[in-house]
Chain A
Amino acid sequence: MPIDIDIAHVARLARLGLSDAELSHYQAQLAVILDHAARVQEIDTEDVKPTAHPLSMVNAFRRDEVRPSLDRTEVLEQAPEHEDGYFRVPPHLETQ
């Protein structure tokens, strides 16, 4: 059963600017992947406990202790632009 994908929506969510040719190319590829996932979903999992994680461990915590942070000058030098100790990026209008 072919799976219907709104590929333009998926691209928008991933902030990818794709051409029409690319959209249909990826649509076909993604459909194959989703078909595969659909086959996995057919497996009878009636007696399998749901899990969010393959590891059997739980509660991997750290103590609330401060560790040294990075040197700001060194970090900011890696950024395309910085100003007065801040990272400087193009203006963004969208709000969360």
Chain B
Amino acid sequence: MSWEPVIGIEVHVELKTNSKMFCGCRADFGAAPNTNICPVCLALPGALPVPNEQAIEWIVRIGLALNCTIAPESIFHRKNYFYADLPKNYQISQYDQPVCTTGHLDVDLDGETTRVAINRVHQEEDTGKSIHVGGGGRIHSAEATLLDFNRAGVPLVEIVSEPDIHSPAQARAYAQQLRSLVESLGVSDAKLEEGSMRFDANVSIRPTGDEELGAKVEVKNMNSFRSLERALAYEIDRQTEVRESGRRIPQETRHWDEAAGITQSMRSKEGSSDYRYFAEPDLVPIVISEERREEIRATLPELPHERIARYVESGLDPHAASVLVSGEMGLGALFEEAVQNGADPKQVANWLTGETTAYLRKRETTIERTALTAAHLVQMTGMLTEGRLSSSAAKDVLAGVLEGEGSPEDVAAARDLIQMSDTGAIESAVDSVLASNPDALEKLRGGDMKPFGFLVGQVMRATGGKADPKVVNEILRDRAAR
């Protein structure tokens, strides 16, 4: 029997507002523990929340970019549960009247576009962070939990897809394209490594062709696009094995263990889904008029699919365009800046989507952590165009620049990679090679081009590989024609 995976993804995005969702504490990442806390985000008695209007504008922006319906009126609910990083014992969230409903994102994968429907986009607040200490850092043997409430109350937007995704690769493409959308809107840093973008997946399998959904397993703790793809592939295999052996899949939450490469069942908590939602009495409804909605729509920047279309129009192939827009983060910004400063778009795109992307993957790093700048790209492509750098030497130069060895000029000089394009010097090298190979020259003059390659090789050797092969070819042809 063949099985079809059915996947839905929940994405949490932290908004990059100056202040928190319901209080004036700073919402930035990386401050010393418990320095951004106040009576509201610590849930001291009597404190009252007041929503951040910037966050509301931004969730509308996200909803519009995802083709959602913006609710004319929406309200906040309390989601009740007990956990030490949740000071109020409830999270202010949204339940049956979220700000945005029923949208979609068109996802490109290997040249094919599929539409993933969005169920809802709602506004909530983040929790604090807990660190488990003692017992070697393992949660089950921890001696105590340390709490930092700096993140408690930071505006969080949850984007819930419909179960429209049918492969791990498609899930990854959806998550990546959603990330670049959110990033382009300027509403979040959307950094997986800092936790400002996080995702959970609901996975089930069903016999291909069936309409009914299987029992759904929630997979958590995937901290990179790669781990999302790996975790889903593992989980689909696991479920297939269980079903094929005639057993059933229990509905549960499983934790992705990156090091072991497996998902593991989490201790199930009795009544964990009993959140007893009720309307938040401390907050009044959010009303977004048609006029306000259109005003926000007018502020939408160029969206990723529009940007891809613009790149393709300027001559890039669609794959390169989509890698620049939705691939490794920060490539698009480098591309734009290099092109604005006069670099050739196609050349820059090739170096960024080829060598640079391969380097980032291999080192498992991000473009911001390398030393590469737009100015470097302008300089390097300029050297290529001038013939001072061969494309194989350029690979070495780029590697050196990425490693922080300096500008392309510096690296090329230090690694002795500057190509000889001074015609005079190459001419004398060619002439001395011909002088020591008179037979070969005779053959060329007689119309036998067989020794041509050999002679080019000799010249390259004589110049330590630094002569521009194009120039060597030209001069040799000129000598043969004499």
Q: Please report A residues at the B interface, Cβ cutoff 8 Å.
A: 9, 12-13, 15, 52-53, 55, 57-70, 72, 75-76, 81, 83-96
A86 touches B52 (CB 8 A): no
Whether A90 touches B145, Cβ cut-off 8 Å, given contacts A64-B19, A66-B18, A72-B34, is yes
Within 272-328 of B, Cβ neighbours of A (below 8 Å) are at 274, 276, 279, 281, 283-287
Bound Cα distance A72, B266 (Å):
35
Whether A58 touches B33, Cβ cut-off 8 Å, given contacts A91-B145, A96-B81, is no
Whether A58 touches B144, Cβ cut-off 8 Å, given contacts A69-B35, A69-B37, A96-B83, is no
Bound Cα distance A93, B134 (Å):
14
Q: Residues 225-244 of chain B: 1 if any A CB is under 8 Å from the residue's CB, otherwise 0? A: 00000000000000000000
**Residue of A61, A87, A92 most packed against chain B (CB within 10 A):** A87
Bound Cα distance A64, B25 (Å):
10
- Nearest CB in chain A: distance from B274 CB, A: 6
A62 touches B38 (CB 8 A): no
**Residue of A13, A60, A70, A86 most packed against chain B (CB within 10 A):** A86
Taking CB atoms, residues of chain B closer than 8 Å to A53 are 75, 279, 281, 284-285
- Nearest CB in chain A: distance from B15 CB, A: 10
B interface bracket (residues with beta carbon within 8 Å of A): 35 or more
Whether A12 touches B25, Cβ cut-off 8 Å, given contacts A62-B51, A64-B53, is no
Interface segment, one of B135-143, B170-178, B349-357, B390-398: B135-143
Within 363-416 of B, Cβ neighbours of A (below 8 Å) are at none
Q: List the 8 closest A-B pairs by CB distance, nearest first.
A: A67-B24, A86-B146, A64-B54, A61-B53, A52-B279, A91-B142, A87-B147, A85-B33
- Nearest CB in chain B: distance from A37 CB, A: 13
Bound Cα distance A85, B38 (Å):
15
Taking CB atoms, residues of chain A closer than 8 Å to B50 are 60-62
Taking CB atoms, residues of chain A closer than 8 Å to B281 are 53
Task: Tell me, yes or no, whether B26 is within 8 Å of chain A by CB.
Answer: yes
B36 touches A69 (CB 8 A): yes
A89 touches B84 (CB 8 A): yes
Bound Cα distance A9, B18 (Å):
41
- Nearest CB in chain A: distance from B399 CB, A: 41
Using CB atoms, name the residue of chain A closest to B127: A96
Using CB atoms, name the residue of chain A closest to B275: A13
Cross-interface CB contact of B75 among A52, A61, A94, cutoff 8 Å: A52
B34 touches A85 (CB 8 A): yes
Bound Cα distance A61, B50 (Å):
6
Whether A89 touches B145, Cβ cut-off 8 Å, given contacts A9-B271, A62-B52, A63-B53, is yes
Bound Cα distance A93, B286 (Å):
37
Task: Tell me, yes or no, whether B102 is within 8 Å of chain A by CB.
Answer: no
Using CB atoms, name the residue of chain A closest to B149: A87
Whether A62 touches B34, Cβ cut-off 8 Å, given contacts A86-B147, A89-B144, is no
Taking CB atoms, residues of chain B closer than 8 Å to A72 are 32, 34-35, 37
Task: Tell me, yes or no, whether B269 is within 8 Å of chain A by CB.
Answer: yes
Taking CB atoms, residues of chain B closer than 8 Å to A69 are 25-26, 35-38
Task: Tell me, yes or no, whether B7 is within 8 Å of chain A by CB.
Answer: no
A58 touches B287 (CB 8 A): yes
- Nearest CB in chain B: distance from A40 CB, A: 15
- Nearest CB in chain B: distance from A75 CB, A: 6
- Nearest CB in chain A: distance from B129 CB, A: 9
B146 touches A83 (CB 8 A): yes
Taking CB atoms, residues of chain B closer than 8 Å to A62 are 24, 50-53
Taking CB atoms, residues of chain A closer than 8 Å to B37 are 69-70, 72, 75
Cross-interface CB contact of A12 among B34, B148, B270, cutoff 8 Å: B270
Taking CB atoms, residues of chain B closer than 8 Å to A64 are 17-19, 52-55
Whether A89 touches B147, Cβ cut-off 8 Å, given contacts A53-B75, A69-B36, A70-B39, is yes
Given contacts A12-B270, A52-B97, A92-B145, 12 further A-B contacts (CB under 8 A): A13-B274, A53-B285, A60-B50, A61-B53, A64-B19, A67-B25, A69-B36, A72-B34, A75-B37, A88-B145, A92-B130, A96-B83
Bound Cα distance A57, B51 (Å):
14
Cross-interface CB contact of A85 among B32, B271, B276, cutoff 8 Å: B32
Using CB atoms, name the residue of chain A closest to B278: A52
Bound Cα distance A60, B49 (Å):
10
Bound Cα distance A53, B448 (Å):
94
Task: Tell me, yes or no, whether B434 is within 8 Å of chain A by CB.
Answer: no
Taking CB atoms, residues of chain A closer than 8 Å to B39 are 70
